[in-house]
Amino acid sequence: MSLRKLLMMMVTLLLIGAVFVGMVSALETEQKPTVATLQNVRDFAPAYEIDGVNYAIDAGELFAGIPGAWRSVATPEGVIVNAVAVSRQDGTLYIGAANELVIYRSADNGESWVRIPLDTNAIGGVTDIAVDGSNRLVFVGTDTDGLHRLRDVGASMIEGGQLVLDEPVLEVIAASDGSGMALVRTMWNLYRAEDFGLRWVAVENLPSPATAVAIAETNPATVYVGTASSGMRMSQDGINWQAVNNGLNYAPGSQLFIDDVAVDAAQPQVVYVSSSLSVGGTSLHTTPLGVSMSTDSAQIWQPLERVENVAVTDLMPLSGRTGAVYALTEASRTPLALGEAQAIELASVNVQPVEGVEAPLAPVVAAEEGVDILSILAWVLAGLAAVGLLAILWLDLARRRSAQPETGVLAAQLIRNGKDA
C-alpha cells in the first residue's frame, strides 16, 4: 500500500472520529446543568421513599432532584409551570400550567409529555394537583373554574365531575389507599369528596376556617387541617375532627394560626407544622412561633426551629429524614434548611447520584463554565486530519516535481531524434 493511500485512510478515520466526538459533545451540552439551590419555589412534590427524586416548581420551571442537586426538566414550549404532582402507585408525573387551563402528563419522568386540556371555556390557570393513584383519579384545582376530576386510563384521561366554585382553589389533597378521601381548600371554605369525587360537601364543623391541609398515607388515611384560630385538627373520615394541639402553645382564649402543615411522604407518622400566635382584641398582634414536629401522628408536638420575625408559609419535608425540612417564608421563596436539613445541606458535597438525576461533584449556585474535554478532542482530531491532508498535498507536489524533468528530457530526446531523421 502506497504512503498516499495510507494517509488518506488515516485522514478519513480522523474526520469520522472528529464528527462523532463533536456530535456527542453537542448532545451533552444540551443537558441542562444541575444547581444546588432553588430561588423562587411555588410548588413541591416530595419523593415517596428515602433519597428518592423530588419535584419542585421554581420560577415557572420544573426541577427534579435532591438537596444540592436539582436538574431542570424540559417541559412543553410556552408553558409556565405552576403545579406538580406524582402518582404514588406508578410514578406518573403531572404538571399544571399557570397560563392555561391545561395539565400535562408524563409516564417517563418528563422525557415526553401529553397535553390534556380541561373541559371548559374559562380562561385561567391551574393552582394545584392531587393524585389518587389507587383509583387513578387526578384532581385539578384552578383559579377561575373550580375543581376538575379526571380519570387516568393510560392512553388518555377522561374528565368526569367538577366542583364549581366562585373562588380560587388553594390546595387539593387525595389519599391513595382506595378510600376515595380527598379535600379541597379555598380561602374561606373546605370541601370533602364523596363517591370518589363525583360529589362534594362542605366541611362545616371546624371551629374556624381551614388555613392548611395535608394527608398521611396511614391505614386508614389521616387528614390534617390547620385552622385560622384554633390550631390543628385531624380526622380519618373527614367528618369527625379531633383537636391535636399538645405542645403547640395553644391555650383556650388564644388564637393559634396554622401557616402550613406537611407530612413526611416516606414516614406518615412524622408531621410538621408552622404556626403563629395572635393576641389582642380589635387590633391583633401576630407572633410567628416557628416550626414544630411530631413523630407520633400529631399526638405530641415538639419545637423544631424558630424563624425569627417571619412566618413560615410552606413546609417541604425531606422524605425519610426525620427532622429534616425546608421552609419558605413570607419574605422569601428560597428554601431555608431547618432542623436536620442544615447538616444534610452542609454535607451535600458528598451527595450520591440518584437515578434520573445528575448529581454534581460539589454544590454549585449556578452552572460553572468548565473545560469541555470532548470539544477539545474533536478539535485535536480535526487538526490531525488537516495535518494529514497537508502531508498528502506535499506528497502530490513532490511527485509532480520529480516527474517534470523526466518529461523534459524525453521531449528533448524526441526532438533530437526527429532532426537526425
What are the pLDDT digits (tens) for 346-375? 554 343 444 444 433 333 333 333 345 666
Name the residue range of residue 110's domain: 36-350
- Is 357 a member of any domain? no
Q: What is the pLDDT of residue 333?
A: 93
pLDDT of 198 > 50? The answer is yes
pLDDT of 59 > 80? The answer is yes
pLDDT of 241 > 70? The answer is yes
Lowest mean pLDDT, pick from 37-41, 205-209, 314-318: 37-41
Query: What is the model's pTM?
Result: 0.77
- Is 127 a member of any domain? yes
pLDDT tier for residue 28 given thresholds of 50, 70 and 90: low
The pLDDT of 196-203, averaged and rounded, is 96
Which runs of E-coded beta strand occur in 228-374?
232-235, 242-243, 255-264, 267-279, 285-294, 302-305, 312-317, 324-329, 336-339
> Residues 323, 404: one domain?
no
The pLDDT of 316-328, averaged and rounded, is 95
The pLDDT of 214-222, averaged and rounded, is 96
The pLDDT of 225-248, averaged and rounded, is 96
* Residues β-bridged to residue 201: 192
- Is 355 a member of any domain? no
- Is 119 a member of any domain? yes
Q: What is the pLDDT of residue 375?
A: 67
Whether 202 contacts 191, CB under 8 Å: yes
Whether 381 contacts 373, CB under 8 Å: no
Cell of 103: 395539565
349's CB contacts (< 8 A; 6+ apart) are 68, 361, 362, 363
How many Cβ atoms from other residues are within 10 Å of residue 227's Cβ? 22
Q: What is the pLDDT of residue 359?
A: 37
Which is more confident, 19 or 307? 307
> Residues 340, 379: one domain?
no
> Residues 24, 110: one domain?
no
| Residues 79-96 as b or e (16 or more Cβ within 10 Å = b) | bbbbbbbbbbeebbbbbb
Task: Find the helix or strand (DSSP H, E) in which 381 lies.
Answer: helix 373-420
Range with top average pLDDT, 32-46, 200-214, 346-360: 200-214
- Is 362 a member of any domain? no
> Residues 42, 20: one domain?
no
How far apart CA 39 and CA 74 sit, in angstroms, is 18
How many domains does the structure of the chain reveal?
Answer: 2
Q: Which of 260, 270, 256 is nearest to 302 (CA)?
A: 270
How far apart CA 46 and CA 341 sit, in angstroms, is 14
- Is 363 a member of any domain? no
> Residues 200, 245: one domain?
yes
pLDDT of 74 > 90? The answer is yes
